[in-house]
Amino acid sequence: DGGITQSPKYLFRKEGQNVTLSCEQNLNHDAMYWYRQDPGQGLRLIYYSQIVNDFQKGDIAEGYSVSREKKESFPLTVTSAQKNPTAFYLCASSISQDYEQYFGPGTRLTVT
């Protein structure tokens, strides 16, 4: 079964802790993306990667970090520097930047 998996579905952390969200795809896609969704707002791009070992900041990269060591994996770390980390995080992938994006099921992060 081809697709994108994100784990866990729900994540709870204390303020001041770093947390890493997992995103894996077996679609053989080159491009991968991380988005954040807040209530009543559109998705906003955090980071994207067009190819292994390369990634670029999106519109709201501050307080986040990523790595792309393997084509299949694009983990997102939410650092303690992120002022408002509580949100719904969505990972997506596409064949390349100009193609349709496929989304994972999302991780809902709550930081208290």
Which residues contribute to the site for another protein (CB under 8 A)? 35, 37, 40-45, 48, 58, 88, 90, 92, 97-103, 105-106, 108
Q: What is the dihedral of CA 21, 78, 53, 90, to 10 degrees?
A: 50
Q: Give the shortest CB-16-to-another protein separation in angstroms.
A: 26
Q: Give the shortest CB-5-to-another protein separation in angstroms.
A: 12
Could you tell me the two tokens for 110?
């709550």
Q: Give the shortest CB-77-to-another protein separation in angstroms.
A: 21
Between CA 107 and CA 97 the distance in angstroms is 23
